[in-house]
Amino acid sequence: MPPEIGPLISPSEKTSMNRRGFLKFCGLMAATLALPSFYARHIASALSAAQRLPVVWLEFQDCTGDTESFLRASPFPNPLQGGNTMPGLVDILLDYISVEYHETIMAPAGFQSEQSLANVLDQYSGQFLCIVEGSIPTASNGAYCTIRGRTALSIAQQVIPQARAVIAAGSCAWDGGLAAAAPNPTGAVGVNQIVPGLSNLVNLPGCPSNVVNLVATIVYFLTYDQLPDRDRQNRPYFAYGEEIHDECERHDYYEADQFVLEWGDTGHQQGWCLFKMGCRGPRTHSNCPKVKWNESTSWPIGAGHGCIGCTTTHFWDANSPFYTPLEDD
């Protein structure tokens, strides 16, 4: 039987950080969620009184990229508060959630792992958070992805409807991702196509999804007992409400008609706009310029490569060939 979920009285009693570090974390969450700074204390108060949230993390047809993004988030320099190193996002989050099932990191294997999932469904039905990583194949009755003799399709259809909230982490769980690229031999689809009409679904597309957005979504849920506001594609506005182009550090070069025309040319060395090298930033909605990647040290455009639009629908088909320039609107 899973351990009893108890209340969190104080961050100092449950975490390895001091209160200042905890408040920095809450400040980052408020900034990521596009909330005024004073909401940080509200988040801190809510988290301190919250009960640990059971989590089931399902991995299907994937490359484990979203799990890697999740696990490699410590330590964390905060770009929104002067770049000072913060406690690891996941280290903090694990004090407020209880990962009951995750095939990559859990200790049980075989029958014991199957029993762990069964325990969650028995003990916490309607109470747990379900995070889905990877696409779900539907061809041949789902035979292209099986776990312990069961298809990913049957597992998803059993577990997802019982969750209190569902997060589709990464492009594969959103719309099938790379596996769904033409000709899509496995019939790969995302969560919404398997269990249509979910009102408690948050899509976090990206290849992989950004761990900052994943943590912020969970923190919002723990704080307000509801999911953040989302667009028609169930993507939270705080993470996908603005075009990369508008927030890009190279935007001024675009306005000045200063473009990289060849890899390694003078403009490339000086950080000019990558639009003519195929950058999809003008048609991609994401907060990558703000939260960045690799412990917030950089991001693709900052590193000199154009955006490939991995948060857009069926980007492998829609945006390739990736180095062909967009038509200038």
Domain boundaries, the chain: 11-238, 242-318
- Walking along the chain (329 residues) 10 residues at a time, the average pLDDT comes out as 36 56 87 92 91 95 93 58 55 84 88 91 96 98 95 97 98 97 97 95 97 94 96 97 96 97 97 97 96 88 97 95 85
Tokens of 55: 């989590």
Cα first-last separation, the chain: 58
Question: Which residue, among 58, 200, 50, has the nearest Cα to 116 in the 3D structure?
Answer: 58
Closest CA to 51 of 88, 14, 12, 23: 14
**What is the fold, at CATH topology level, of the domain defined by 11-238?**
Rossmann fold (3.40.50)
In whole angstroms, what is the distance from residue 19 CA to residue 23 CA?
6
pLDDT of residue 7: 34
Q: What is the pLDDT of residue 6?
A: 36
pLDDT of residue 74: 56
Report the pLDDT value the prediction gives residue 91, as an integer from 0 to 100.
72
CA dihedral 263, 265, 271, 272 (to 10 degrees): -90
> Options 3.30.1330.60, 4.10.480.10, 2.40.50.140, 1.10.3720.10; which CATH number does 242-318 get?
4.10.480.10
Q: Establish how many alpha carbons lie within 13 A of residue 70's alpha carbon, considering only the half-sphere containing its beta carbon.
A: 21
CB 227 within 8 A of CB 217: yes
Which pLDDT score, from 0 to 100, does residue 113 have? 87
pLDDT of residue 22: 84
Q: Which residues contact 17 (CB under 8 A, 6 or more apart)?
A: 11, 25, 87, 92
Q: Are 65 and 204 in contact (CB under 8 A)?
A: no
pLDDT for position 88: 67
